[in-house]
Amino acid sequence: MRNRKLPSRSGLVAELPPGPGRPELVRSPDPARLAWTYDALLEALGPQQWWPHADEDGRFEICLGAILTQNTAWTAAARALSQLRAAGAWPAEAILALPQDVVADLVRPTGHFNVKARKIQEFCRVLVEEHGGSIDQLLSGDAEAVRTRLLGIWGVGPETADAMTLYAARLPTFVVDAYAYRLAERMELAPGARQYERYRQAFLAAIGPDVARLNEWHALIVRHGQQICRRTNPLCDACPLLEDCPFGQRTLGLAG
């Protein structure tokens, strides 16, 4: 049982005024509650070790994996990556040289395999034709420059761009996904209605630009969302966040 002091439930505190990419005032979650949540998740689940180190080949793999895992589990993306390597469809130049239906067959485990094949071939085309095949060149610059460049590639949306920016480029950003929306809403940490950029900026401001911590935050949210804070039948009675979670306390009839 943790004896860490529970922060007062002060909700949203920091305010980010309108600015570049932020047309409206954004209220940020209370950093003290977020820090408590992070510590509780880390203590209960342990470090997730999502790509603590990655060489150039690893960074390319992270980028392809970020596309392949769209709307599917990472295990399926990992299987597709293995099949690409085993077939000699590696790295970018080799993937580009193959007909799209062959690539689609290799990434079949990820579902939507025709569109996934097109997406990874488009990513490879930009990498090869515009950056000389250098993943380091594609990922050069600060976080905003990198994610803007990635968002310009067909098939790369905000969540995918942020996963690449954080895990492949190792630059500070917050990855927003269905698990993050759910956790924020259930714990009453949401900075407003679901809107990707609102959440990203609010959580990034509250957590700070610590890349290792942002890496671990996203990994912990995913693990917790898959195993404990499930969409239906969440395991609130076994959750390390119950002490500070209004939804969980209501679910278990503990709310005063």
Q: Does 241 participate in binding ligand SF4 (rule CB under 6 A)?
A: yes
CB of 127 or CB of 183, closer to ligand SF4: 183
Whether 251 and 234 have beta carbons less than 8 Å apart is answered as yes
Residues that bind ligand SF4 (rule: CB under 6 A) add up to a total of 14
CB of 24 or CB of 237, closer to ligand SF4: 237
CA 169 to chain centre: 13
Which region among 6-14, 84-92, 128-136, 238-246 touches ligand SF4 (by CB under 6 A)?
238-246
What distance in Å separates the CA atoms of residue 25 and residue 21, rounded to the nearest whole number? 11
What distance in Å separates the CA atoms of residue 217 and residue 48, rounded to the nearest whole number? 9
Q: Does 40 participate in binding ligand SF4 (rule CB under 6 A)?
A: no
Listed residue (6, 11, 13) closest to 36, CA to CA: 6
Whether 89 and 95 have beta carbons less than 8 Å apart is answered as yes
Q: Does 164 participate in binding ligand SF4 (rule CB under 6 A)?
A: no
Q: Does 236 participate in binding ligand SF4 (rule CB under 6 A)?
A: yes
Question: What string marks each residue from 172 to 211 as x (binds ligand SF4 by CB under 6 A) or -?
Answer: -----------x--xx------------------------
Pick one of 66, 89, 92, 242: the residue that binds ligand SF4 (CB under 6 A). Answer: 242
222: region left, alpha or beta (phi > 0 left; psi from -120 to 50 alpha): alpha
> Which parts of 213-232 interact with ligand SF4 (CB under 6 A)?
228-229
Q: Does 96 participate in binding ligand SF4 (rule CB under 6 A)?
A: no
Q: Can you point out the beta strands (E) in 17-163?
A: 26-29
CB of 219 or CB of 236, closer to ligand SF4: 236
* CA trace torsion 46, 182, 209, 202 (10° rounding): -160
Residues that bind ligand SF4 (CB under 6 A): 183, 186-187, 228-229, 234-236, 239, 241-242, 245, 247-248
